[in-house]
Amino acid sequence: MTRKEGIGSYFHDEDPKKMRSLAAPLRLNYNLYYTGRHALLSILNSIAKTTKINTIWFPNYYCQHTLAWIKKSCSGIKTYEINPFEFSNDTIDIGSFADNKDVVLVNNYWGLSSMSIKNKPQNVVVIEDHSHGWLSEACLNSHADYCFVSLRKSLPIPLGGVAWQPHLETSSKQELVIEDQTMYGIWNDMLRGMQLKTQYIKGTSPNKDYNYLPVFYKVEEALNSYFDFAKMLNEHKTIIESFINANTLSYKEEHLGYLYENIKDNQYFKIVKKNNKTAFGLLLLFKEEEIFNSLKQYLVSQDIYPSTLWPDNQVAFQWRYFLNIHVDFRYNMDDMKHIMLTIQNWLEEET
Ligand SMILES: Cc1ncc(COP(=O)(O)O)c(C=O)c1O
């Protein structure tokens, strides 16, 4: 059984009432933004108000669009080394590269990072990015100075980002005063793409073509070149907040439990996972580029569209070709079975 829209790619428009809720409402004192990158920039701006930042350290494996975007507004950015696929000892020795008055971004890789740090110079500010670990323990119980999340990675909303300061009862509100038609246009485009996908799924589309992908790509391009802060419209805030207590992690946990039972590490790939943590998706790591491409193509031929996070990052590790298969709330156990059988068939053909 396969879905006509396949497994993966962008979210379609969903009804929040159909999603499971968290047992207790979220208790993060967050501020809302249109994007994760604006949430990060707002944090950096607020640090810069009181401190003359020397260097902003990013991990050398990170979302290339976000980093390029931030570089347009901030100077003094450097990178530190990290292995984004290895979690047995992932403590970051901040003192080995950062000095006083530096800012260090720590990324919660695929929701699996321990987020532990050591040797932090006293005046170093730590910002955590939980975009791939939304609702993880590390995200909800962070001890960092600041945290942020791009919510559209986990929630079916057009755009959305949050930033908060875990040790503060209330986050100081940034004044975001621009009524920004461009950003509202980007939101509307994204919403239109999501609605087109819903129509396609329901078969109510006036035009039978697969016409939503170009809309999503246009939004990504627009986001990469748009920098102003927009005042959040109430109607957009209402949409984001109607999803914010959705328990998106519980679906992934169930789906991954099944896939981990049925798919094991082998000579071609390793499954990137960690006990007692729920990964962002089914994460497969390869040594050989050819094998990686072969499975990727096979998955696509079976209507499974994995994402590669992030294709432009160059790392020197032997195991470095990485793909993510979506296992979120959109899917059920039939879909997981389809993923499992597809991978098993590919393995049989390879061996
Ligand atoms: C880890 C990570 N952080 C932040 C962002 C930025 O989020 P947004 O696209 O909402 O600005 C992205 C990607 O877009 C990301 O992958």
Residue 113 sits in a domain of what CATH number? 3.40.640
Q: Say whether both 221 and 280 belong to one domain.
A: no
Q: What is the mean pLDDT of residues 44-73?
A: 96
Q: Say whether both 55 and 192 belong to one domain.
A: yes
Q: Would the pLDDT of 17 be above 80?
A: yes
- pTM score, two decimals? 0.97
The answer as to whether 20 is a domain residue is no
235 CA from centroid of ligand 1 (Å): 22
Locate the ligand 1 atom nearest the alpha carbon of residue 69 and give its number. Answer: 11
Q: Are 157 and 240 in contact (CB under 8 A)?
A: yes
Nearest Cα to Cα of residue 282 among 298, 300, 313, 258: 258
Locate the ligand 1 atom nearest the alpha carbon of residue 161 and give its number. Answer: 10
SS3 141: coil
Buried b (16+ CB within 10 A) or exposed e, 248-261: bbbbbebbbeebee
Q: Would the pLDDT of 175 be above 60?
A: no
Kindly report the protein residue whose alpha carbon is nearest to atom 3 of ligand 1.
131
Q: What is the mean pLDDT of residues 130-136?
A: 98
Q: Would the pLDDT of 208 be above 90?
A: no
User: Would you give the DSSP letter of residue 287?
Assistant: S
150 CA from centroid of ligand 1 (Å): 5
Q: Say whether both 261 and 207 belong to one domain.
A: no
**Max Cα distance, the chain (Å):** 60
Q: Say whether both 223 and 199 belong to one domain.
A: yes
Which residues surround ligand 1 with Cβ inside 6 Å? 35-37, 63, 65-66, 107, 129, 131-132, 150, 152, 161, 223
Q: Say whether both 228 and 257 belong to one domain.
A: no
Q: Which amino acid is at 306?
A: P
Count up the domains in the chain and report the number: 2
Q: Say whether both 172 and 292 belong to one domain.
A: no
Q: How far is CA 206 from CA 6, 8, 90, 210, in A?
A: 20, 23, 51, 11
Q: Say whether both 89 and 162 belong to one domain.
A: yes
Q: Per residue in 244-294, pLDDT tens? A: 999 999 999 999 999 999 999 999 999 999 999 999 999 999 999 999 999
Distance from C-alpha of 1 to C-alpha of 181, rounded to nearest angstrom: 43
The answer as to whether 187 is a domain residue is yes
Place of tokens 């047995």: 88
Domain of residue 278 covers: 247-350
Q: Are 231 and 180 in contact (CB under 8 A)?
A: yes
Q: Say whether both 182 and 297 belong to one domain.
A: no
Out of 212, 227, 244, pick the residue that ends a domain: 244
Instruction: Tell me the best of 150, 151, 216, 229 to mutate to test the pocket of ligand 1, counting ligand atoms within 8 Å of each CB and taking the most.
Output: 150
The answer as to whether 235 is a domain residue is yes
Distance from C-alpha of 285 to C-alpha of 272, rounded to nearest angstrom: 7
The answer as to whether 4 is a domain residue is no
Q: Per residue in 335-351, pLDDT tens? A: 999 999 999 999 999 87
Out of 219, 244, 269, pick the residue that ends a domain: 244
Q: Per residue in 31-47, pLDDT tens? A: 999 999 999 999 999 99
Q: How far is CA 56 from CA 99, 119, 187, in A?
A: 10, 17, 29
Q: Say whether both 142 and 286 belong to one domain.
A: no
Residue 283 sits in a domain of what CATH number? 3.90.1150.10
SS3 143: coil
DSSP string, 37-49: HHHHHHHHHHHHH
What are the start-end ranges of the H helices in 160-306? 181-202, 213-224, 234-243, 248-262, 289-301
205 CA from centroid of ligand 1 (Å): 30
